[in-house]
Amino acid sequence: MVKEFTDNDEEYQEWLTENPNGFVINTKRNYPTDYMVLHRSTCFLICKYTEMAQPGGFTERQYI
């Protein structure tokens, strides 16, 4: 099943926790785009807040 997360980092984080064997396509909000990256749901680049990925940075601003 495919689920799009838009404007809801909390729901997105819950999905990551509930689906440790899942996959995420990281893309910019304004698609179609030439930027689409497939990640495992446990990949630190798409599941942990960092200096570059502040709260809201996964689904609430430039990326979905």
Mean per-residue pLDDT pooled into runs of 10, the chain (64 residues): 90 95 90 84 88 80 82
User: pLDDT at position 20, please?
Assistant: 96
Which among 20, 5, 23, 2 has a CA at the least distance from the CA of 60? Answer: 5
User: pLDDT at position 31, please?
Assistant: 67
pTM above 0.85, yes or no: no
Q: Kindly list the distances between the CA atom of residue 23 and the CA atoms of 27, 37, 51, 56, 59, in Å, as whole numbers in the listed order.
A: 13, 10, 23, 20, 15
User: Which three-class secondary structure state does DSSP give residue 63?
Assistant: strand
User: pLDDT at position 32, please?
Assistant: 67
How many residues are recorded in the chain? 64
User: pLDDT at position 18, please?
Assistant: 96
